[in-house]
Amino acid sequence: MTQVLAFDVYGTLIDTLGVLTELEQRLDALGKMALAPEFSRRWRDKQLEYSFRRGLMGGYVPFSQCTEEALVFTDRALQVGLSETDRAHLMQAYARLPAFADVAGALRRLSEAGVTCVAFSNGTGQAVEGLLEQAGIRDHFETVISADEVKRFKPDPAVYAHLRYRLESEPGDTWLVSSNPFDVIGARHAGLHAAWVRRSAEAPFDPWGIDPDLTVGDLATLAERLG
C-alpha cells in the first residue's frame, strides 16, 4: 500500500486556542478577561484528562461530552461564573475552531505529491467533518477516521489498530502526525511510524524512551520531509 499520513486534528491541524477570542468576550462581561489564557489552557488539559480517565474506567462518552464537562470544571475551578448561555456559545465556538496557518499549504503540497492523507481524531466523525469543512481543509483528506467508531480514546492501542483496519495498511506504511506527545507515543507503541509536530519550541516530550521517528516545527517542514 502507498504510504498514508494520519493527521491528528485537535492541536495539530486545528488551533484549540482559537476559542480564546470568544472566551475573552465572555469573561470580559464578567470582569475576568485576564483569566482567559489560563482558562483556555486548563480547559484543554482537563478535556484530555477526562478522555484518559474515561478510557481507564471503560466508561466511554463522546469527546464533546469530555469537552463540555471540562468547561464546567474549569469554570468552577477558576470561579468565573459562566452562565448556561456562555457555556453554549463557547461550545459552539469550539466547533468552529480555525486551522493553523501552515496547514492548508502543507496538505496541498502532500496531495500534489500523491501522499494519501486522512484525519484521525478522538472527536466523533460528525464533529470532525464539520470542523474540517468550516476550516476549509476537508477536501485534502481521503476520509475521517474517528476513535468513536470503536468507543475508545487514543492512546488506547485499539484505536490505532482500528486506523490500520480502516486503511487496510501495514504498520510500516502508516504514519501518525500529531502535536500531542501522548498520541505519538501511543502510535509508536502500536507499531506505527509517528511524526511529532512541535508547535512550541518550549514544548517537552515525555521521557519514556519511545521517541518519534521525525520531529518538525510545522507542517510545511513535514511536507518537505515526507512529501
* 156 catalytic per annotation: no
Res 2: pLDDT:
57
Return the C-alpha cell found at 119. 484525519
Tell me which residue of 60, 26, 55 sits closest to 43, measured CA to CA.
26
What is the C-alpha separation between 118 and 176, in angstroms, rounded? 10
Taken in order 42, 96, 156, 196, the sign of the CA dihedral is negative
* Annotated domain spans of the chain: 4-15+98-226, 16-94
Q: What is the mean pLDDT of the chain?
A: 95
> What pLDDT, in 10s, does the model give residues 176-200?
999 999 999 999 999 999 999 999 9
Contact 133, 21 (CB under 8 A): no
Distance of CA 104 to the CA centre of its chain: 16
pLDDT at residue 45 above 70? Answer: yes
pLDDT at residue 171 above 90? Answer: no
Mean pLDDT of 210-224: 97
Residue ranges with strand state E in the chain = 4-7, 116-121, 144-146, 174-178, 193-197, 214-216
Looking at 8, 75, 86, 156, which residue is catalytic? 8
Give domain 16-94's CATH architecture.
Orthogonal Bundle (1.10)
Peptide bond into 155 cis (omega under 30): yes
CA atoms within 13 A on the CB side of 189: 15
Specify whether domain 4-15+98-226 bears CATH 3.60.10.10: no
